[in-house]
Structure 1
Amino acid sequence: MLLPVIMAGGSGSRLWPLSRSLYPKQFINLASDKSMLQETIARLSGLEHQAPLLICNQEHRFIIAEQLRQQRVTHSGIVLEPVGRNTAPAIALAALHAIKDGDDPLLLVLAADHVIQNQDAFRQAVNNAISSAEQGMLVTFGIVPTAPETGYGYIKQGEVLGSAFRVAQFVEKPDLATAKEYFISGTYYWNSGMFLFKASRYLAELKLHRPDILSACEASMSGARLDLDFIRLAEDEFLQCPDDSVDYAVMEKTQDALVVPMEAGWSDVGSFSALWEVSSKDEDGNVLVGDVISDQTHNSYVYAQNKLVSTVGVDNLVIIETKDAVLVANKDKVQDVKNIVNQLKGLQRREWEQHREVYRPWGSHDEIAEGERYHVKHLCVKPGEQTALQMHHHRAEHWVVVQGTAKVTNGEKSYLVSENQSTYIPLGSAHRIENPGKVDLHLIEVRSGNYLEEDDIVRLEEYGIGY
């Protein structure tokens, strides 16, 4: 039976400001009413498979857990990487976890941030690869190209083996002239980064070609511990792991690499132009998302998250409005959005890293207004959840409940605060908010004091992540 391994790491800087380091594109609803991660899991329907195993950055663990909960998805584990070390170590961790009880499943390795429009064609390609993988081959999926694309690596097909081909060559991203040659030849595929192989075969190849990666992963898994639904690696051991991709570490070196063609409307949505390509368009070639009014606008992607966005007489633009940032770019230059992200990092601005609305294990908080001696936030606490018990040295807080009922701890007292009621948390008082009800708790928090930053916090009792 297949064990889907979903790699959900990555920072998504090319889709800024929709995507941020702490909330990258795989967690965003870009091509449907589900996030890309949720779509990746949903397309497994129709395949005989175990509950998926997920590999992610530890900073994203609660986002993943919440998105799985929303879709009522069970899983085989969520492995947390303390730092990113590329795909070869990530898959090694999955393989080691898969064989720990004596099993040896076929690992279906998928990225969480791909769009696949033809689900049936995806599942057919996977089924076409199963027999070869069961015989010990290492299968990758090659996307039948639809254009001479310079943004992807390529795979050249070799000898025919049933519904697959031997891999004759892996090729780096080509220039346009070379890409045109590949496209015309009909013997090259885009490298999708999706794979199917036995867990034991991958580990054997890794031991042969990159024993240093395998050794570090074995050490980090042997010292791993469970934390709620999460598998926390031994951090010091994993930090010693080299950084390498599965292509360089294994697939380009093995003698047993096969490629199975896939023609399924695939895209890695690596830019806003790619997102425009895979989205439904109006009669003027526009993709309009949110509260958008356009006039004499053509071939553009306009996304409004928080405000009315209007356009007049523009063509070939990308316009993205979020609660804290606006991007306007020529659609032909969107690969350079990462340059803006690098500038934001250099200026030490927080917009490159997180959205104004920040997700926590207990819910979320969103900044409404900010002044020299006050901050106003909107908090949402999920049913049955609570913040950490904490106190502040420099600020007091007022809480106004606008929906639901809050159970408030304030110093030595504990009491309920209902809708349209408020409470005051003095400076230095130990406090927390709990939602004892069945619906989301919404409240407005007003901070006042001479220092209002997030680092003025003393956690007196850890409960997930405080705030």
Structure 2
Amino acid sequence: MSAPARIHPVILCGGSGTRLWPVSRKARPKPFLPLVGSRTLFEAAQDRVGDCESFAAPIIVAGAQHCELIEAQARGQHRLVIEPAAKNTAPAIALAAALLPAEAVMLVCPSDHHIADETAFVAAALAAASLAREDWLVSFGIAPDHPETGYGYLRRGEPLPGGYRIARFVEKPDLATAQSYLATGEYSWNGGIFAFRAGHFLDELARHRPDMARLVGEAVAGGREEGTRFHPAAEPFAAIEGDSVDYAVMENTDRAAMVPADMGWSDIGNWAALADALAAEPGLADPDRNVARGPADLDSCRGVLALSDGPRVSVVGLEDICVVVCEGEVLVTTRAGAQRVGKLPGAVNQEPAR
């Protein structure tokens, strides 16, 4: 019996990472920063699918504003699909699917996530690909380690080879509900990593979002090649009503499955999430889970993240706060307030403070 065909990674580079302001900026957003370790998140995403026996060269889907950053940090052969407009994840994935053979299994990966256990990631990817070849639309179900209110959840259904049918998609819950999910052991976080057979994904998109599927098809048919870059036709793509892959397809299909993945995953969605990811790295945190990068003095503190590109940060007697100094901007937030950083005028407008 021949080995299964290689999996085709699709790396999505979108978003501006405003909740990680002032380090993440429009000109150099979150995926292109070395937030955990020496590699950028985008470089790490490529390295995770770098095994040539299991994975083909990736397709990278991104906006034009990030092309130079992508090509500067590209790890090898790739194909870059340049979205004419930002239309959320369903059209972005559909562009890649339309450029692949119908039987190809695609592994959709955000460019800005952190995964500590890359061996577990590859094992989950192989399990997901096996289900995708049987025309399941597969999501990675991240093993939850605390009652998180910032993620959507997947409820486990009947067992499948290497995974489970998804019994229910759940929106971001309140704390009491998240605690109940954790207690049952039946729920996983929806990590935004997927595996599909390209042709089956397009069929399901046409079934549930026919206008989107038609317009993506027109954009690809009218597109043009430019070396390793592919430019979809702008006019039909601009007419698409954007939507996430979860809303457009996953929550509508009757073939939704999940593979469990316990791999030290974080979406690094805010400063509190980055603090947790750094604290989990060997040797970075002190016994009180304080993490410092750059000059910092932390006295009688617990759970403090202090990052500085120059000026000394001194913190005394505080718990669960994040202090970030970068390029003349200073941010101080509690862990609880970290989700709101992206709404600050400095993050929205990207202008120097007055």
TM-score, normalised by the number of residues in structure 2: 0.92
Q: Distance in 1 between matches of 2:104 and 2:294?
A: 43
Structure 1 residue 254, shift from structure 2 partner: 1.0
- Relative contact order (alpha carbons < 8 A, sep ≥ 6): 1 or 2 greater? 2
Q: Where does residue 21 of structure 1 map in the other structure?
A: 26
Q: Which amino acid aligns with 2:7?
A: L
Q: Where does residue 197 of structure 1 map in the other structure?
A: 196
Q: Where does residue 64 of structure 1 map in the other structure?
A: 70
Q: How many residues are paired up?
A: 342
Of 42, 48, 53, 2:59 maps to 53
Q: Where does residue 122 of structure 1 map in the other structure?
A: 121
1:180-230: CA deviation from partner (whole Å, max 9, x where unpaired): 111111111110111111100000101111111111111111222234532
After TM superposition, the structure 1 = structure 2 runs for residues 102-141 of structure 1, keeping only pairs within 5 Å, are 104-141=103-140
Q: Does structure 1 retain, via aligned residues, the 8 Å contact 2:117–2:264? A: yes
Q: Does structure 1 retain, via aligned residues, the 8 Å contact 2:24–2:30? A: yes
Q: Which amino acid aligns with 1:4?
A: P
SS of equivalent to 2:99: helix
Q: Distance in 2 between matches of 1:293 and 1:228?
A: 50
Q: Where does residue 90 of structure 2 map in the other structure?
A: 88
Q: Mark the CA change 1:115 to 1:349 in structure 2 (over 3 Å): closer, same or farther.
A: closer
Structure 1 residue 351, shift from structure 2 partner: 4.8
Q: Does structure 2 retain, via aligned residues, the 8 Å contact 1:344–1:351? A: no
Q: Does structure 1 retain, via aligned residues, the 8 Å contact 2:26–2:350? A: no
SS of equivalent to 1:123: helix
- Mark the runs of 5 or more structure 2 residues left unpaired by the alignment: 1-5, 279-283
Q: Does 1:74 align with 2:81?
A: no
Q: Does 1:310 align with 2:314?
A: yes
SS of equivalent to 2:189: strand
Q: Where does residue 439 of structure 1 map in the other structure?
A: none
Q: Distance in 2 between matches of 1:164 and 1:351?
A: 49
1:369-397: CA deviation from partner (whole Å, max 9, x where unpaired): xxxxxxxxxxxxxxxxxxxxxxxxxxxxx
Structure 1 residue 344, shift from structure 2 partner: 5.8
Q: Distance in 1 between matches of 2:147 and 2:350?
A: 38
Q: Which amino acid aligns with 1:15?
A: L
Q: Distance in 2 between matches of 1:36 and 1:174?
A: 27
Q: Does structure 2 retain, via aligned residues, the 8 Å contact 1:165–1:260? A: yes
Instruction: State which structure, 1 or 2, has the greater radius of gyration over its C-alpha atoms.
Output: 1
Q: Which amino acid aligns with 1:166?
A: R
Q: Where does residue 207 of structure 2 map in the other structure?
A: 208
Of 288, 311, 314, 1:284 maps to 288
- Which has the higher mean CA deviation after the structures are superposed, 220-229 or 8-17? 220-229
Q: Distance in 2 between matches of 1:314 and 1:256?
A: 49
TM-score, normalised by the number of residues in structure 1: 0.70
- Mark the runs of 5 or more structure 1 residues left unpaired by the alignment: 353-467
Of 13, 18, 26, 1:8 maps to 13
SS of equivalent to 1:350: coil
Higher helix proportion, which one?
2
Q: Which amino acid aligns with 1:19?
A: S
- Which has the higher mean CA deviation after the structures are superposed, 227-236 or 314-323? 227-236
Structure 1 residue 21, shift from structure 2 partner: 2.4
Q: Does structure 1 retain, via aligned residues, the 8 Å contact 2:142–2:188? A: yes
After TM superposition, the structure 1 = structure 2 runs for residues 58-457 of structure 1, keeping only pairs within 5 Å, are 58-68=64-74, 72-75=75-78, 77-99=79-101, 104-279=103-278, 280-341=284-345, 345=348, 350-351=351-352
Structure 1 residue 135, shift from structure 2 partner: 1.4
1:220-265: CA deviation from partner (whole Å, max 9, x where unpaired): 1122223453222221221101111111111111111111111111
Q: Distance in 1 between matches of 2:238 and 2:352?
A: 28
SS of equivalent to 2:159: strand
Q: Which amino acid aligns with 1:42?
A: D
Structure 1 residue 161, shift from structure 2 partner: 1.3
Structure 1 residue 67, shift from structure 2 partner: 0.8
Q: Does structure 1 retain, via aligned residues, the 8 Å contact 2:81–2:231? A: yes
Identity in percent? 39
Q: Distance in 1 between matches of 2:207 and 2:260?
A: 27
